[in-house]
Structure 1
Amino acid sequence: MERESMEFDVVIVGAGPAGLATACRLMQISKDADKEISVCVVEKGSEVGAHILSGAVFQPDVLDELFKDWRTNCAPLTTPVTNDDIYLFNSDTKSRLMPNSLVPKTMHNDGNYIVSVGNLARWLAERAEELGVEIFPGFTASELLFDENNAVKGILTGDMGVGADGSEKDGYMPGMELLAKYTVFSEGCRGHLGKQLIAKYHLDNGKTPQHYGLGFKEIWKIPAEQHQQGKVVHTGGWPLVDGASGGGFLYHMEDNQVAVGLIVDLNYKNPHLSPFDEFQRYKTHPVIAQYLEGGERLTYGARAIAKGGLNSLPKMSFPGGLLVGCDAGTLNFAKIKGTHTAIKSGILAAETLGEGLIAGLEGGKDLDCFQSRFENSWLHEELHSSRNFGPALHKFGTLLGGAFNFVDQNWFGGKFPVTFRDTTPDHQGMGLASDYAKIDYPKPDGKLSFDKLSSVYLSNTYHEEDQPCHLRLSDQSIPVSVNLAKYDEPAQRYCPAGVYEIVEEEGESKLVINGQNCIHCKTCDIKDPSQNITWVTPEGGGGPNYPNM
């Protein structure tokens, strides 16, 4: 099919913090050099920020590198952290408040802000458009485009108006080729195209496998007397026991609102575990419930996070482009923060691209000079100092791993002379259903705990039902013949949106995929023990519509 095309110097896939930082810095460089650089950003969400979900406590220093006037230019950073509490939950009722003297220094939040990363992205998008960036929300980057030298030359946006049977419906609109000298991929964790690029160019050679967590988040409006604006609570331990790990959080925002969430590491072994139900149990612990009781749940969402850090970070350059932010995996798990590192990776990408484009660099090259720029930055230093944090927790467990991390961060400054590595991919950790006891989760009470469907409703998720399914099975038989037989089909439980269910039809089991419920968390693409599920982009604008997550 002959398609329309548009040409730019740089196309950026994904209007998150990394992509927008890349765009802003490129345009600043363009103006400083008085040389035009054309930049386009495509965003699959219906608007900028619609698909962004993060805790989040934000380390703001990086904004000084991008916009020195951010404090006076309406940046959505209005809730400074006032105090930190870190608890170890010993059981469903017991807990221990950890003294600050025993907490790894990376967990302290002096000078940081409680923010909505979605709103931060919206603010960055406004700055980018002021600088001359073109932003196209509601358009997916569905395919990679390559030149005759096998270098990336841009992306193809997804067709609109295609029926589930592949036919063209009324209003059909074919995708457009967005061609570029260089393409920057900032799709977020487990990016659809980023995953293909890592495989095609072997960018992860010599690295440990990427590791992931599934992060849940709800925003609640709570009684004023229970609210302490600026208070940050982090927890470890219960309900994640018996080999499961992760941690919880509760952040007191402005307007009597709190963000509550749980991160479940996706290396868990028990196939009966339901991360969603673990999160519902988490909210009933007295330390958390004391803030939520009598409140109203406003929003719900979930998203995978890449937490492998430097040990799992792929080569971020390839012929014709760069990977930035969580598409590469720049999150600092020791701080449980990835927004400042994503922005810095975008700044480094822009400075690499801008320098080359202004010097007349031809498109399609491998900008491997990015690696030296990265290695000489504070971003590399920060990720190197936290390289052992996740592997230590996986290797030694919450208590001993936490003790090691305290010693590593507080005594050695992240320079402990040994590097631990976790070489087992998360999906390979899944055990057989017959080897593990089923977990008896309590029924939701409708006050603190809730069911999946009512939760998905709060995510404002919508997909046009008559469209091709964006959750692709390589082998249609595997969900029943392998996953159900061996693992009791864990997709029924690890999906936080009720997308997958096993039904009986004429005496036979069958997997049903309710793709319209998908909140784009990517967990199925990560955790399926058979690696039989591939998440691809649905029609543009589909998915969740998070207002301020």
Structure 2
Amino acid sequence: MQREAMEFDVVIVGAGPAGLSTACRLMQQANEAGTELTVCVVEKGSEVGAHILSGAVIEPRALNELFPDWKEQGAPLNTEVTEDQIFLLKNDQKGSKIPNFLVPKTMHNHGAGYKNYIASVGNLCRWLADQAEQLGVEVFAGFPASHIIYGDEGQVAGIGTGDMGLDEQGNQKDSYMPGMDLLAKYTIFSEGCRGHLGKELIARYQLDAGKDAQHYGLGIKELWDIPVREEDDPAKHQPGLVLHGAGWPLASKESDGSASGGFFLYHLEDNQVVVGLITDLNYDNPHLSPFDEFQRLKHHPVLAQYLKGGKRVSYGARAITKGGFNALPKMTMPGALLLGCDAGTLNFAKIKGTHTAMKSGMIAAETIFAALSASDQESSEGGKDLTAYTENFKNSWVYEELYRSRNFGPALHKYGTMVGGALNFIDQNIVSLPFTIHDNYPDYAQMKAVSECAPISYPKPDGVLSFDKPSSVFLSNTNHEENQLCHLKLTNSSIPLAQNLPKFNEPAQRYCPAGVYEVLEDEQGEKQFQINSQNCVHCKTCDIKDPAQNITWVTPEGGGGPNYPNM
């Protein structure tokens, strides 16, 4: 069976905020101008939103521009932020609430000029996909873009979707179906953090030349149903309440004090809260387990007061791109654009990336539409480097916002929570620092040998507030077709046991939040490195944190992975 090909004006990889905003804005312009435009969005999840995981507090600035009447159209932003609480946790029992006047302005979510919303980004994407389809966009869920198609002159000419029905050895099963080639004048890559095609493009076109090393965090999140408020019980559910914090357990003696990050707990509507921990992936102790740090965190009284008596209903994990302005790569190349978290537009100073991703897509749509509408036939044929996007992006509020926050992450990484936090308070609240702080050491390269680090002992989960990995992965609704090619590729299969195990006690066993990687030992004492790819929640942490950079995440068979509801 041969692969079929389809041609479009624009192909968009990834039905996240950036990709769907690009699609919607393209069709808005085409409909306004009365011109025909063919736009296709391919999404690797079984449905739009299935793989979307974010906190999230959403700043609707970009949404206001894209759909000014979004409230009337039923966009799922229902819970306005009513109160911010910021904590510094000292130990497993104590924590200090930081007065709002000492918090960087970027972390304020309500008050003068602010109307932010606690929402599910997955549900927002489902709504955006509906708007896109009504505008004439073709949205194909369950069709992962597996590879890039290049033209004769080295330009991006489209993408190919993955073949279906291959066994573990790559042989065709009875269910085999070849993928399709989707050709386009312009291709948009908006896969989210550490997109595997975006990673290829950055290397091929050297898009990160002269930029700081990109940095990442691993976000682990749970959705809880919590008890209805009772007269004799404190108000466990306070819709609109936002909690953020740092300190314990990551920056504690129990965890060797070697890591940084922060927690969040947001009160949604319908007696639900979301709780999570972001662990910066620049930590150096190979004994550290972000999953177990999160389970330990939930026992702290600041969080436990809301979770006790509740029921955990969903679990998920996803890496976030947090290098910010200093690590932002060139976003244009011949025939293509790199957008949203695939490029790294998240504003970590705000702990928000939805609005910036959406705006990057809207700017892309306006740039592409202008190019396609140009009277110059060479330009309208596509395939060129859309250099105008760089200038359009630079003249936008998203560029100004990211530039203004350029020191936030590097200050925390280099100087820690206290000193870095003080610098950020000055930079964001008093006067902009007249210099740029750089953090140019890759996250994966910071891992120390086990011989240099103290072991970390984690308490056994109690099944009430803390849980194990198998039960957590079950709640993520993760599924991959049996007997398919493993989508976690080892460049050198000997490295896990020959190099990573003796030096780092193979940290993949601990940094993976889904139990994908195991080191097993048989009766003869022979060790085996096992990859349980069916557990993979597509967080991309292994691709980022492996100290040997030996693991490459690629797309599995169509529709495989988690299925997140309301996350």
What is the DSSP-based 3-state SS (H/G/I as helix, E as strand, rest coil) of the residue aligned with 1:342? helix
Q: 1:246 aligns to what?
A: 261
What is the DSSP-based 3-state SS (H/G/I as helix, E as strand, rest coil) of the residue aligned with 2:71? helix
Match of 2:272 among 227, 251, 257: 257
Tell me the distance in 2 between the aligned counterparts of 1:243 and 1:524.
19
Q: 2:401 aligns to what?
A: 382
CA contact (8 A) 1:140 1:157 kept: yes
- The aligned amino acid for 2:19 is G
Cα deviation, residue 302, structure 1? 0.3
1:37-94 residue CA offsets vs partner (Å, 9 max, x unmatched): 1100000000000000000000012112101110111000100001000000011111
Tell me the distance in 1 between the aligned counterparts of 2:119 and 2:370.
32
Tell me the distance in 2 between the aligned counterparts of 1:92 and 1:319.
53
Report the count of equivalent residues. 547
What is the DSSP-based 3-state SS (H/G/I as helix, E as strand, rest coil) of the residue aligned with 1:299? strand
Tell me the distance in 1 between the aligned counterparts of 2:360 and 2:491.
34
Cα deviation, residue 243, structure 1? 2.3
1:465-517 residue CA offsets vs partner (Å, 9 max, x unmatched): 20010000000100001000100000000000000000013322111000000
Q: 1:232 aligns to what?
A: 242
Cα deviation, residue 31, structure 1? 1.1
Cα deviation, residue 2, structure 1? 4.1
Match of 1:490 among 501, 507, 525: 507
Match of 2:483 among 466, 477, 482: 466
CA contact (8 A) 1:14 1:185 kept: yes
Tell me the distance in 2 between the aligned counterparts of 1:397 and 1:153.
45
Scaled by the length of structure 2, the TM-score of the pair is 0.96
Q: 2:78 aligns to what?
A: 78
Give the unaligned 5+ runs of structure 1.
none
Tell me the distance in 2 between the aligned counterparts of 1:288 and 1:332.
25
Tell me the distance in 2 between the aligned counterparts of 1:465 and 1:454.
20
Q: Tell whether 2:422 aligns with 1:406.
A: no
Q: 1:44 aligns to what?
A: 44
Cα deviation, residue 439, structure 1? 0.5
Tell me the distance in 2 between the aligned counterparts of 1:421 and 1:166.
44
Tell me the distance in 2 between the aligned counterparts of 1:173 and 1:469.
18
Q: 2:98 aligns to what?
A: 98
More displaced, 285-294 or 359-368?
359-368
Q: Tell whether 2:536 aligns with 1:518.
A: yes
Q: Tell whether 2:554 aligns with 1:536.
A: yes
More displaced, 122-131 or 363-372?
363-372
Q: 1:181 aligns to what?
A: 185
What pairs with 1:158-237 in structure 2 (closer than 5 Å)? 158-225=162-229, 226-237=236-247
Q: 2:4 aligns to what?
A: 4
Tell me the distance in 1 between the aligned counterparts of 2:476 and 2:107.
29
- The aligned amino acid for 1:212 is Y
- Provide runs of 4+ in structure 1 moved above 6 Å: none
Tell me the distance in 2 between the aligned counterparts of 1:134 and 1:378.
30
Q: 2:254 aligns to what?
A: none
What is the DSSP-based 3-state SS (H/G/I as helix, E as strand, rest coil) of the residue aligned with 1:72? coil
Q: 2:302 aligns to what?
A: 287
CA contact (8 A) 1:21 1:124 kept: yes
Tell me the distance in 2 between the aligned counterparts of 1:409 and 1:538.
42
CA contact (8 A) 1:35 1:358 kept: no
Tell me the distance in 2 between the aligned counterparts of 1:284 and 1:465.
37
Give the unaligned 5+ runs of structure 2.
230-235, 252-256
Q: 2:344 aligns to what?
A: 329
- The aligned amino acid for 2:295 is Q
1:249-291 residue CA offsets vs partner (Å, 9 max, x unmatched): 0000001100000000000000000000000011000000000
Cα deviation, residue 324, structure 1? 0.5
Q: 1:319 aligns to what?
A: 334
Cα deviation, residue 405, structure 1? 0.4
Match of 1:133 among 128, 133, 137: 137
Tell me the distance in 1 between the aligned counterparts of 2:193 and 2:63.
22
RMSD of aligned C-alpha atoms? 0.7
Tell me the distance in 2 between the aligned counterparts of 1:341 and 1:334.
12
Q: 2:470 aligns to what?
A: 453
Q: 2:526 aligns to what?
A: 508
Q: Tell whether 2:321 aligns with 1:306.
A: yes
CA contact (8 A) 2:263 2:277 kept: yes
- Give aligned-pair identity as a percent: 68
- The aligned amino acid for 1:293 is K
